[in-house]
């Protein structure tokens, strides 16, 4: 998505402000896995892998995608949503319409969040979401303030682990598409070494949050390799990381 100069400035200002500062204290390093939107494979393939390793993830659903195809990929169904919740995963909130915070007014952004919250509550036995993910990882100061009022935690984008003082209104999430988990080459721009980040999180007892969309042997440019997810979980366990949902990490 191409942003105007004004939108970029708005985003820059948004990133600068810590709305919900919190000092991170963890007993051990933690890995949180997020699936955004979410394509069906995140549940049909991802759910099976997560169960195999006995861990839970956070699924950020956009109501408008339910039972639809988006970017050529089949998206979650109502049954997927409920099954994921019943299996112990966290269902988080995106905007219903997958609106970017930089493309619509704050009022429209908030209405789309409200619509999504209702969509999720109706389908998940009244359970309201605690966590939010900014679509396209676009933030503005106004949207961060609005989200901080409504959710315990919001996830944005980052290139590393969450250390010491973190902002619960924009927790840094690493895009797995830029790591070896998605088959992204170390020679390409923006490459992030997920193994190094796992080591760092373990050694410093910090919080590594990652996100992706679909899972496949040959995923989309926004997705992750099926084996990449398994390798990630194996590495995390070997390093001694606990795998938790965002809700579990920020509880209390
Ligand atoms: Zn999204």
* Rounded distance between C-alpha atoms, residue 112 and residue 37, angstroms: 14
Shortest CA distance to 89 belongs to which of 116, 120, 117, 134?
Answer: 120
> From the CA of 36, how far away is ligand 1's center (Å)?
5
pLDDT at 200: 97
Q: How many CB atoms lie within 10 A of CB 70?
A: 15
> From the CA of 186, how far away is ligand 1's center (Å)?
25
> From the CA of 35, how far away is ligand 1's center (Å)?
9
Give residue-wise pLDDT tens across range 104-122: 999 999 999 999 999 999 9
> From the CA of 236, how far away is ligand 1's center (Å)?
25
pLDDT at 14: 84
> From the CA of 203, how far away is ligand 1's center (Å)?
31
Q: How many CB atoms lie within 10 A of CB 188?
A: 8
> From the CA of 147, how far away is ligand 1's center (Å)?
15
User: Are the C-beta atoms of 56 and 89 separated by less than 8 Å?
Assistant: yes
> From the CA of 28, how far away is ligand 1's center (Å)?
29
Q: In the chain, which residues have pLDDT < 70?
A: 252
pLDDT at 252: 66
Q: State how many domains the chain has.
A: 1
The first and second tokens of residue 204, run together, are 């410093």
> From the CA of 126, how far away is ligand 1's center (Å)?
23
> From the CA of 222, how far away is ligand 1's center (Å)?
10
> From the CA of 9, how far away is ligand 1's center (Å)?
21
Cα torsion at 34, 175, 214, 7 (round to 10°)?
100
The range of the structural domain enclosing residue 101 comes to: 5-250
- Residue 79 is part of a domain; what is its CATH number? 3.20.20.370
* Rounded distance between C-alpha atoms, residue 184 and residue 163, angstroms: 25
What phi, psi does 53 have (nearest 5°)?
-95, 0
> From the CA of 135, how far away is ligand 1's center (Å)?
4
> From the CA of 238, how far away is ligand 1's center (Å)?
30
């Amino acid at each position: 998505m191409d942003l105007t100069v004004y939108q970029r400035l708005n985003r820059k200002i948004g990133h600068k402000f810590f709305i919900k500062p919190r000092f991170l204290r963890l007993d051990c390093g933690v890995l949180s896995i997020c699936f955004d939107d979410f394509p069906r494979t995140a549940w049909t393939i991802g759910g099976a892998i997560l169960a195999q390793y006995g861990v839970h993830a956070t699924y950020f659903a956009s109501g408008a995608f339910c039972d639809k195809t988006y970017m050529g990929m089949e998206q979650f169904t109502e049954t997927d949503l409920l099954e994921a919740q019943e299996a112990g995963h966290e269902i988080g909130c995106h905007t219903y319409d997958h609106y970017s915070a930089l493309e619509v007014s704050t009022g429209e952004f908030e209405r789309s969040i409200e619509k999504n919250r209702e969509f999720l509550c109706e389908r998940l036995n009244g359970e309201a979401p605690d966590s939010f993910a900014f679509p396209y990882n676009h933030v503005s100061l106004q949207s961060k303030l609005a989200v901080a009022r409504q959710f315990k935690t919001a996830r944005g984008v980052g290139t590393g682990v969450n250390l010491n003082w973190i902002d619960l209104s924009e927790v840094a999430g690493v895009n797995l598409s830029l790591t070896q988990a998605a088959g992204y080459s170390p020679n390409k721009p923006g490459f992030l070494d997920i193994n190094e980040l796992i080591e760092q999180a373990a050694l410093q007892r910090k919080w590594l949050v990652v996100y992706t969309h679909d899972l496949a042997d040959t995923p989309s440019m926004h997705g992750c390799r099926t084996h990449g997810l398994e390798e990630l979980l194996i590495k995390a366990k070997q390093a001694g990381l606990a795998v938790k949902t965002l809700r579990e990490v920020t509880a209390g």
